[in-house]
Chains A and B, each alone.
Chain A
Amino acid sequence: MNNFFRRLSLPVKLLSLILFPLALIIFLAFTVYREKSETADLLDGYVTRINRSADISALISSLQAERKYGYNYVLTRDAGMQPAIVRQRQVTDSVLDWLASQQDASLHQFTSYTFLDSLLPVREKIDAARTTPDIVMHYYTTAIYRLYTLNMAMAGNNKYPDPVFADLTAEKLLTGMITYLEILSTNFYNAIYARQNNVAMLYGLLGVYDIYKSYEKELLVKASPAVVRRYKALRDTTALKPVTAYIDQVFTRFSFDTLYDAGEWWQLSGDASRGIKVLQTDLMQQVKAAMSKAHTDELNDRDLTLLLIALALVVVFGIMVFCTHVITQMLSGINAAAREIAQGNTGVTLQNVSGDVIGSLSDSIRTIGESNRQLAHAADLIGKGHFDTPVQTRGNNDLLGNALLRMRNNLEQFTAAIEKSRQQFEEVADKAPVMIWVSGTDKLCTFFNKGWLDFTGRKPAQEAGNGWMQGVHPDDRAGCAATYTEAFDTREEFYMEYRLRRHDGQYRWIGDTGAPRYSPAGFFEGYIGSCTDIHEVKVLEQRRDDFIKMASHELKTPMTTIKGYVQLLRRMHDGGRDPFLADSLATIDRQVARLTRLIADLLDATRMETGKLPVHPEPLRLGHLAEVLVKDMRTLFTSHNIVLHVQADPLVLADKDRLTQVFSNLLDNAIKYSQPASDVVITLSADREKAMVTVQDSGIGIAPEYHAKVFERFYREPGGQESTFPGFGIGLFIVREIISLHRGNVWVRSEKGKGSVFHITLPLHRPD
């Protein structure tokens, strides 16, 4: 049902919504019309009856006038009354003609039981004066009486009383007959009992007898055939027959005879009445039953009507709800599908769609979904490099399809260009004298140039990915991987040295410089690295470092002896008599101290290069450290005036020996490059975050272009007098390295010929 309805077209669906209420309205209208028709029919019956009653009243009125004129004419024979009589008779006749022309069942053959069938003979007797005034009066009076009773009868021609109308009329006529028969029977009984032949009484009863007969005639006209049969049986077979025969005989002879005595008459006439009464009672019962049934039928009919209306309402409401539900459901389905497609889903299906506008809508949505899926599939294939993938555009205005088509074509050209560029790169890379590798965004290597492959003697497939790591010396592998990964993750350039196995099995030191690669659009694409064989350099360096280490150690041993003896001698001759000896010993001591420092610096510089300089930080007060140092320096360098300004005594976390080394180097430089007797000033200060130390001299100064260079290893200012000063050019390099290890800064402010100020900052230590 549901599916059937879904497949109906939208106009039919909407029409159904209108059609069913329309049917209900028609049904209700019909019901109301029927009810109204019945009421109108009933009213019509009453109107007819009123009209008929007015007509009969007019007839009665005219007959009354005719009676008056007829009576007077018979009594007086006055010819002058004739015109009035004729006029009146014309009035009566016209009314009779009018009534006869009406097709009214209740007036069927009414002249036969209202004595009016005798009107013409009576008029003739009046005109011929062959009658008496009493007879004229009697005739007209009985006719008028019967017309009155006819006028009182109920209205017919209605739906409701129709089935019982004949029986009801018959029952009333039977009642009248019983009444008049009993008047006659009673009077007859009195006459028979008194044995009086009262002619005047018989004349009086004649009217009663005529009325009885008129009722009988009306009964035979109006009663149903069944009732007529029953009555005729009654009249022909029961006591009614001898009674009516006797009554006829008495009124024919106008005298009673002795056929019945009083008792017999009483019995016989009583039976006759009872016979009619039985029929009358039966009819009454039938009428009651029929009316009761009509009433019940009507009530049932009303209930049925109500039930039908209620049922129709339920059905119509149900159909409307169903229609609305199905339409809403279909639209909801389409809506849900559209939303899914809007969210980028593909493969959306819609079921039970109709051929109308809703179906067409769902088809469109399905088409959108399907073409989206096809385009997505095509884009996916193109993305994987299948440039022969066909792209079905959905018309000239299909932006998406056309864009995809353009993208495919551009991508194809772009890829070809990249491939060409890659080939060119590889050609160049293969000719380069260095070893080159390239990795992708996944850290895995994708390319090794000829230089690399020749070095390792392995195939590209063996080196690809992380394969090259197999050639790295096992001791260097972890460090190598860590450096690469760390730099890669932060996209920083890196330099690392490791031992790589050559094709002949020898491990050789390699210097590897890696840098991130970016596309022209700025997208990260991986790394590229170039490597050189630094084995010889490395070996030489190692030898040099070993030599320096050994040399410094070997130099220190004799230095220890010399220094010890000099100091012992100075102590022994302190305040001695021989100033030359004292001065000589002091000079030896000073120069030995400087030599010691130089040897220490040389060794430290080497250790710094290899990152092996040990640092043992502890909380230190810079003030105390400076005081001890300045005191020592003053004993060594009496030539200069060493001044200490302690503006603050900051606490730092530092290696005591290393800091002493820093300050000694700075003081040593200051003394070395300035005139004897000049001031060398050390100032200690601090702010909220850092400790500051300055060492100021008034010496030869440094040109600004060399401010950075003086901190480099083995750097000596070129030319002139500076080269005459002793030193390896590593003092300031060591200062910078040590301060850097303490997370501090060092710099110089100086002008040529105007002295130098070395600045050092160190982070403050805040013990928690």
Chain B
Amino acid sequence: MNDKPYHILVVDDDPDISMMLKLMLEYKGYAVQTAERAEETVAILRSTAIDLVIMDMLLSGANGTDICAMLKRDEATRQVPIMMISAHPNAREICLQAGADEFISKPFDMQDILSKISDLIKNRPR
């Protein structure tokens, strides 16, 4: 692990999941911020250097896929890798179509999600 930790933004309207992911990622040495809504997400991405976004597909208010598509359209945020998560069947196609770099279905395996996060961060464009 580097001295300077990677910053990960977790976006989920279920605080239990956000908290669980935050603990899991911090345990692995990542710096984690959480958000519940689109506005927050965009605000954090604009203010903070984020290395990865993990986002639920279905959010109250705006759809995760819409936010994903918006971020991928925006010059400022398009470089940030986005990992979508969902318990919904057929979510994989919808998310990848919206521009997500990775998809993990709920419930996920800890080892699985950590190795994919590591891959995304290492391979992300700088």
Contacts and interface: CB of A to CB of B under 8 A. Distances in A.
Given A557-B14, A557-B17, A564 B87 contact: no
Interface string A568-596: 10011000000000000000000010001
B23 A557 contact: no
Given A556-B87, A560-B106, A568 B17 contact: no
Contacts of B4: none
30 contacts: A549-B89, A552-B87, A552-B89, A553-B89, A556-B87, A556-B106, A556-B107, A557-B14, A557-B17, A557-B87, A557-B106, A559-B106, A560-B17, A560-B106, A560-B107, A563-B108, A563-B109, A564-B17, A564-B20, A564-B108, A565-B23, A567-B110, A568-B20, A568-B23, A571-B27, A592-B107, A596-B107, A612-B90, A614-B90, A632-B109
A75 B110 CA distance: 200
A559 B107 contact: yes
A603 B89 contact: yes
B88 A564 contact: no
Contacts of B88: 553
B24 A560 contact: no
Nearest to B93: A614
Contacts of B17: 557, 560-561, 564
Contacts of B14: 557, 561
A4 B51 CA distance: 117
Prevailing SS type, chain A contact patch: helix
Nearest to B21: A564
B16 interface: yes
A730 B16 CA distance: 31
Contacts of B111: 567
Interface in A364-393: none
B20 A565 contact: yes
Given A563-B107, A567-B24, A607-B89, 20 more contacts: A549-B89, A552-B87, A553-B88, A557-B14, A559-B106, A559-B107, A560-B106, A560-B108, A563-B108, A563-B109, A563-B110, A564-B21, A564-B24, A564-B107, A564-B108, A564-B110, A567-B110, A592-B107, A596-B107, A603-B89
Interface in B75-96: 87-90, 93
Residue picked from A549, A557, A559, A632, most chain B C-beta under 10 Å? A557
Contacts of A592: 107
A561 B27 contact: no
A562 B14 CA distance: 13
A567 B109 contact: yes
A571 B25 CA distance: 12
Q: How large is the interface on A (under 10, 10 to 19, 20 to 34, 35 or more residues)?
A: 20 to 34
A553 B87 contact: yes
Interface in B1-32: 14, 16-17, 20-21, 23-24, 27
Q: How large is the interface on B (under 10, 10 to 19, 20 to 34, 35 or more residues)?
A: 10 to 19
Contacts of B90: 612, 614
B107 A571 contact: no
Contacts of A567: 24, 109-111
A562 B110 CA distance: 11
Contacts of B110: 563-564, 567-568, 571
A563 B107 CA distance: 7
A590 B90 CA distance: 25
A654 B107 CA distance: 23
A561 B56 CA distance: 13
Nearest to B25: A568
Contacts of B107: 556, 559-560, 562-564, 592, 596
Residue picked from A552, A568, A614, most chain B C-beta under 10 Å? A568
A596 B14 CA distance: 19
B100 to A, nearest CB: 15
Nearest to B27: A568
A560 B17 CA distance: 7
A568 B108 contact: no
Contacts of B21: 564
A614 B103 CA distance: 15
Contacts of A614: 90, 93
Contacts of A563: 107-110
Contacts of A552: 87, 89
B97 to A, nearest CB: 13
Residue picked from B20, B21, B27, most chain A C-beta under 10 Å? B20
A222 B24 CA distance: 177
B103 to A, nearest CB: 11
B41 to A, nearest CB: 20
A240 B97 CA distance: 164
Interface string A591-611: 010001000000100010000
Interface in B59-82: none
A561 B16 contact: yes
